[in-house]
Amino acid sequence: MSCTRLYIGRVSARLPRSTLSTTPTSTIMTTSLATRALSSSPSSSTSADSHPKPLYASQPSLPHLPVPTLSSTLHKYIETLQPLQTPEEHQKSRKTIESFLSSATAKTLQQRLEARAAERDSWLSEWWNDAAYMGYRGRIVPNVSYFYVHKHGLGKGKNQAQRAAELVRATVEFKKLVDSERLEPEKVKGKPLCMASYKYLFNAVRVPTSPADVPLAYEPEKHHHIVVLSNDRYFKVDTKGRSASDLVKAFEQIKKLSADKPGSGVGVLTADDRDVWTEARRHLLSISNKNVQGVQDIESAILLVCLDNDPAPATEDARAWAYWAGGHDRTGKGKGFNRWFDKHEIIVDSNGESGFNGEHSMLDGTPTLRLNEFMLGSIDKGAIPLELPEGEKSTEPMPAPEEIVFELDKHLQDVVAKSKKGFEDEMALQDLKMVNFTGYGKEVIKTHKTSPDAWAQLIKQLAFYRLFNRPGVTYESCQTRQFLLGRTEVIRSVSNEAKAFVEAMADSSKSDAEREKLFRAAVTRHIQYSAWAADAQGVDRHLFGLKKLVRTEKGEEIPEIFTDPAFAKSSHWEMSTSQLSSKYLDGWGYGEVVEDGYGLSYAIGDNEIRWCVTTKNNDAEKFGKALVAAAEDVRKMMDNAKKSGSKL
């Protein structure tokens, strides 16, 4: 899809969405970016390998997302409810579910879903895109977007303009591989994944419309500019045929031009409720053609580069606040300053440290992680030419940065002021803590011959249980991109086995050998459910699809399985968890998904485990300490059990 016009009203088109994935992307590196495509997983013999344009070559051969059987899904559902319920509650829910399974209604809904799957590339993608992202009308920050904190010190010795120029040069090289389709597809166990979302990695934007937003991708070969934000002002900068030295000069010019006064603050509207931004954008475009061109210049850009002012954030928490919410004050609370959240943004502070803010509606975390690893890794290893060789350089002089100035009337000025205050108030409710546990990582975990991801999940279960004396309803994201237009399924991490383990950790009568046995049973259960989720055989997406096909507009009643309190309770994600790991990041994060819950992004390194805890419960630091204590105690228990020979 490409576009050269702006959308003002509702657009009926719907495009697939994806979410952050638990499948980690391996470090991406190359020694000859001009001729070699990159892969985020080990190469193998596939139809794409010998194709001159491998990026999308495997798309026609990808299987379609399956529809699980009713029996399989509902029996898994029954099992995942049990650790969250009293025996009486569970018996009632079991009867409701079994009654539904044997009903004509269930058979009818299943047949409708199978018919939908037979006639579409994906029975889920359009629905999920609308329900989870485009139809969402709240603030995308803190509720949708995510951020990466680039490893501290990677830009050592470089000032802000120099570091930003390096990152842009690397981004342009990666964009060339995507645009030419020479980039190797991501793979898992040698099998290519769906790469449809890569079409929205560059020159793309989430456009606010009513009643649902739309994703928009501009033609990449016609748009080679970035938009640079400095002091909340916007500047269009050409990148085609430009060396890092050209970009440094442009960025230095921008810093000088923007130093005298801040801009209009229009960007904060992208952090407001989507309906507020929809109306404000419509009004902005109606004021003048200059505004229309300015918005189009921003939305069609490769991506945005934010050059933040002094003072640079000094702590890990402050850096996270800046990359997540835009700007920072003494407490690190975000202001939405110097940002345009509808697009991906590279952020560079005045010390040359950097991060990334990801617009989440159009693609999941693995493509943007791949981009970030390419940027950071290729510069770190000196694998790309910062100064272009003759023949690749533009023969035209570098044009001066072109400032994008918006014309605002009194009404829009008032809306911007109200949005700024509203966003500050919203982010003041948020609490964030970056936790870097250096006691051990996957190297130690593997000595116990167990899954690092399952181990990390059980740490979270133990921490939550100790704080609240019960299991916490947990969402772990698992990618389903082995299927065409696949995105994610839920790993329901709370199991009967996990509950038994955390209870044993609190029971002084239990030996470490007994606890280890329960721990390994919980790990085995988690691995099994993870495999089901990756194969699109989980619970949540199937139930979502069945419920969508109840024709209430024709008088059909919602089946009791969906009105049973267990349905809402078991999907009230108190812990929203997702793993992305990279040696080039100091962490990453996103907001909690329920008012009383926690966002728990995590990364498992060789010798560390990192978490970002976000919450409105005002106890992020407390939860972080509980995670560290749980991590220490799990290792102590496992070491003790190993020494004792695990004799029961």
Q: In the annotation, is 360 catalytic?
A: yes
Catalytic residue among 223, 328, 360, 542: 360
Q: What is the DSSP string of 379-438?
A: HHTT-S-SSPPTTTS-SSPPPPPEEE-----HHHHHHHHHHHHHHHHHHHT-EEEEEEE-
What element of type H or E holds 577?
Answer: strand 575-579
C-alpha separations of 510 from 332, 518, 643, 646 in Å: 44, 11, 16, 13
Q: Please, how many CA atoms are within 13 Å of residue 226, restricted to the half-sphere of its CB?
A: 27
CA–CA distances in Å: residue 383 to residues 38, 180, 386: 13, 19, 9
Alpha-carbon dihedral sign for residues 226, 215, 131, 127? negative
Encoded tokens for 228: 């640079």
Signed CA dihedral, 482, 488, 494, 498: sign only: positive
Give the pair of three-digit tokens for residue 416: 């911007």
C-alpha–C-alpha distance, residues 254 and 489, integer Å? 44
Sign, CA torsion 235/239/240/241: positive
Nearest to residue 234, comparing CAs of 136, 300, 189?
300
Q: How far apart are the C-alpha atoms of 203 and 226, rounded to whole Å?
A: 9
**Within its chain, how far is the Cα of 220 from the centroid?**
23
Q: Which residues are catalytic?
A: 360
